[in-house]
Amino acid sequence: MSSPFNMPDEFVRGFVESGGRLFGAGGGTAVDAAQLAQAQAHYWQQQAALWTGWLASGGTQSAAVVDAERGDRRFHGDAWSGQPWFSLLKQNYLLNARLLGELADAAELEAADKHKLRFFMRQFIDSMSPANFAGTNPEVLKLALESNGQSVAAGLAHLVDDLGKGRISITDESAFEIGRNVAVSKGSVVYENPLMQLIQYAPLTEKVAVRPLLIVPPCINKFYILDLQPENSFVRFACEQGQTVFLVSWRNPGPDLGHVTWDDYLVLGAMAAIEVALAISGADKVNAVGWCVGGTILASALAVLRAQGDRSVASATFLTTMLDFAEPGDLGVFVDAQGVAQREATIGRGGIYAGAELGFVFQSLRANDLIWPYVIGNYLKGKSPAAFDLLYWNADATNLPGPMYAWYLRNMYLENNLRVPDRLTMCETAVDLGRIDMPCYVLATREDHIVPWRSAYQTTQLVGGKSQFVLGASGHIAGVVNPASKDKRSYWTGAAQGESADAWLAGAQETPGSWWKHWRQWLKPLEGKQVVARQRLGNAEHAPIENAPGRYVKQRAE
């Protein structure tokens, strides 16, 4: 079983290869001598100042030579600054961390190799923080003394429990239950097949748009990130705005779905959902929304449908979606020819890619937020993590079918084939994203560590229809789930959408508040006339099967 206690092969190989590139394995790596000399000189100058101050005071004071970056919460405790020994530890660590980072910067490597080196160097630096070890964390030592060792005993118990789970606990999972206090919007499952259930949500207005809204969430996570609580539910917002909302709830694959392919996700997922939504609503077209990998699935399905002459989708909204994988961000460090070939050989013809592995990869992208605070809190301090709905969702892992996953890695991340017209064949149809000629709303988020916003911007250059690009503040999750009722953060719009994302940003205008309201105004002309909302969900052919959120979303990863 792969877990944070048994790292995925890609992670281990990345550490080894990156270290080899920097320190000379396999022939050595050239380093910018001037840049390295400057980094070393600055390092020794600050080290001299740090230790001179320490020795001159007889170990009673530690001069403030360097401090943690703003937003770094590891050293917020008073002891890290107020107690000379721990202040010395902290500052020495920060100076060493800066030197290692500058050493990676000075390495003369190809862009992809340098990105990988920087990423894994950051992982090593973060793991070596004195805050992560009981003997060098003043808060841990103080708590152990004050509790007469009870915190140590509790921490060991938490560690044993998490070893049994195969993952680090990041929230109080007992505080939440799907369908009780998360994923609570009213509705019914009106269709299901072996891969997904389709939920139709109950209307919240007397009249609704004749054209329904179909949401295709990512298959690498559970859909209820879009329906966590009523106050931050995108599903509820859409219903309150007079939409008839249909949503795909992907099944959490087990061994019986180990044969499922990318084409199956198009045919049994997005395409089947479009067909059923049209049949139930009686509309001529649907408006579709895809998020992350759900957006990639939706775009692929739309390109196939358009090539086949199907014009049943009036508009497409892509939320933090990559269609051009030339610059995949930090996730790209885990993908190389050797790793993809290994996945193809092991699960490419059948099998399951464990959700625990994928979950750890995503956590590692923000290790100082999603790994090390819980190592410290759970194991060193013996505390239980607080209840947080977003982290409950984050810990609800989803498996992927091996053939689908291996194909996706090769054709998207490794070879970037989707952006090339007619290079890929899906559902026996040559795929050209330029055939997606309906209006498209393309949302990226400025601090996204999974789908870099400049990569998401490239969608505007690939689709054939008129597109509206919007850049939201914050990251991959918080930037999307930005409720209109709270009106936080901001978004950018308005610039000419040429080839350069940076040129677009230079001309864009910032607007305070949630992008949800901007999207709502964009969609209005495309939703058709208003009709009386039908309180009865489904129809004669597609009768309700069970209440939302359905069975599939409750299946845990095996």
Residue numbers annotated as active site: 292
Tokens coding 149: 């060792």
**Sole residue written with tokens 């800066």:** 98
Residue 157 in contact with residue 511, Cβ under 8 Å?
A: no
CA angle 60, 64, 65 (to 5 degrees): 125
- Secondary structure (DSSP) of 427-495: TTEE--GGG--S-EEEEEETT-SSS-HHHHHTHHHH-SS-EEEEEESS-TTTTT---TTTT-SEEEE-S
Tokens coding 381: 């301090």
CA-to-CA separations, 477 to 17, 186, 259, 288, 480, in angstroms, rounded:
31, 23, 30, 19, 5
CA 473/CA 491 separation, integer angstroms: 6
3-state secondary structure of 426: strand
**13 phi and psi, to 5 degrees?**
-65, -40
Tokens coding 80: 């890290």
CA angle 250, 401, 541 (to 5 degrees): 35
Q: Cβ-count burial of 58 within 10 angstroms (0-12 exposed, 13-18 middle, 19+ buried)?
A: exposed
Residue 222 in contact with residue 396, Cβ under 8 Å?
A: yes
Question: Which H/E stretch holds residue 41?
Answer: helix 33-56
**392 phi and psi, to 5 degrees?**
-60, -45
Helices (H), 312-353: 337-347
**Sole residue written with tokens 């999974």:** 450
> In sequence order, what are the residues at sequence separation of 6 or more whose Cβ sits closer than 8 angstroms to the Cβ of residue 420?
none
CA angle 429, 431, 434 (to 5 degrees): 140
**Sole residue written with tokens 């590891």:** 74
CA 558/CA 154 separation, integer angstroms: 28
CA 478/CA 472 separation, integer angstroms: 10
